Amino acid sequence: MSEEVSKRAEEEAETPDLEGQSDDSSDEAEASGDTEMDFLRSLFSRTLGLSPGEKVLDELTLDAVARHILSDKCKNIICMVGAGISTSAGIPDFRSPGTGLYANLQKYNLPYPEAIFQIDYFKKHPEPFFALARELYPGQFKPTVCHYFMKMLKDKGLLSRCYSQNIDTLERVAGLEGEDLIEAHGTFHTSHCVSFLCRKEFSMDWMKDQIFSEDIPKCDSCGSLVKPDIVFFGENLPARFFTTMKMDFPRCDLLIIMGTSLQVQPFASLVSRVSTSCPRLLINMEKTGQSEFGMGLFAFGGGMDFDSDKAYRDVAHLSTCDDGCMALAELLGWKAELEEMVKREHALIDSNDDKKKDKEANQSSRSTGAEPVKADETE
């Protein structure tokens, strides 16, 4: 091999540098390369059925996405969301260095951070998970601008479905219903006994009482552990995830991806389920979900393509999810409506919390014989 390289170097040294011809040769080589690449791209596209689709957006910007939403061509929007849409509510995401959940689990003495969501580890050592659940339990946080933007899409008849990786139930609190949601990684909404022979179901209120009493939830029928219906590593995703995606994604007119690293499968692969002409908008702090090298090289495949010269449908808006949704709402002419919705719904949550405090305070007063009090009198 070294002799061949040496011989080639000598030949190149003896070759005259012909001005003009070298440029033409370079151009010819580039043209030849383009032709060969076009051939390979066409071959792979025909063979694998991965050819680029129709260009729907007139430019790859948030403005163009807004125009598409307002057109009569956009009637079925799917949202794919992850932990990043809830961070402004005070719930940490999983992977952010320093602030993410996995970076702050040292106090639980886990063998590795992900163990807290490993089903085999949970069955032997449930205490760390339930201690964490007390800190992050649903009902202690308010939905964000992003959650209410999705509710607005629903109200306007544009939301086909929200596919969520989150277990905080904030989509439900914001007003999305069971039919609007695919909670891909499960939910605290219900719980079940882990025994395959029992599988008794328990309510969210029952599980909450168990968690905040610092008891390890046990089935009152068989004595086995009871686990919220969230999907741990080592468990299957809900069957509805697989059946519904086959119906939803082929007819999607716009895919909006928010607050997810697109690192966990099979959720991440959903981006490739839409048609090749369907625009895809990423609202995130950084670009993610981009094509693997081989597929990106040939300008096809399911991964996101924001920057190549073949990019034609993927838009990246780099910001917090709330800021991105508010920017899109402003372009759509919905900003004031969204701001009013957030203000109104947050006030309603606060009012309900005050009523709950009143009820708890009065129950406490009756048990001690003290005068009933209002929640604001205790502050």
222 annotated binding-site participant: yes
Catalytic member of 68, 125, 147, 185: 185
336 annotated binding-site participant: no
284 annotated binding-site participant: yes
244 annotated binding-site participant: no
285 annotated binding-site participant: yes
79 annotated binding-site participant: no
| Whether residue 192 lies in the annotated active site | no
295 annotated binding-site participant: no
Per-residue H/E/C for the chain: CHHHHHHHHHHHHHCCCCCCHHHHHHHHHHHHHHHHHHHHHHHHHHHHCCCCCCCCCCCCCHHHHHHHHHCCCCCCEEEEECHHHCHHHCCCCCCCCCCCHHHHCHHHCCCCHHHHHEHHHHHHCCHHHHHHHHHHCCCCCCCCHHHHHHHHHHHCCCEEEEEECCCCCHHHHHCCCHHHEEECCEEEEEEEECCCCCCCEEEHHHHHHHHHCCCCCECCCCCCEEEEEECCECCCCCHHHHHHHHHHHHHCCEEEEECCCCCCCCHHHHHHCCCCCCCEEEEECCCCCECCHHHHHCCCCCCECCCCCCCCCEEEEECCHHHHHHHHHHHHCCHHHHHHHHHHHHHHHHHHHHHHHHHHHHHHHHHHCCCCCCHHHCC
198 annotated binding-site participant: yes
166 annotated binding-site participant: yes
165 annotated binding-site participant: yes
87 annotated binding-site participant: yes
Binding-site residues sit at: 83-87, 93-95, 165-168, 193, 198, 219, 222, 260-261, 284-286, 321
Binding-site residues for Zn(2+) sit at: 193, 198, 219, 222
Q: Please give the positions annotated as active site.
A: 185
Binding-site residues for NAD(+) sit at: 83-87, 93-95, 165-168, 260-261, 284-286, 321
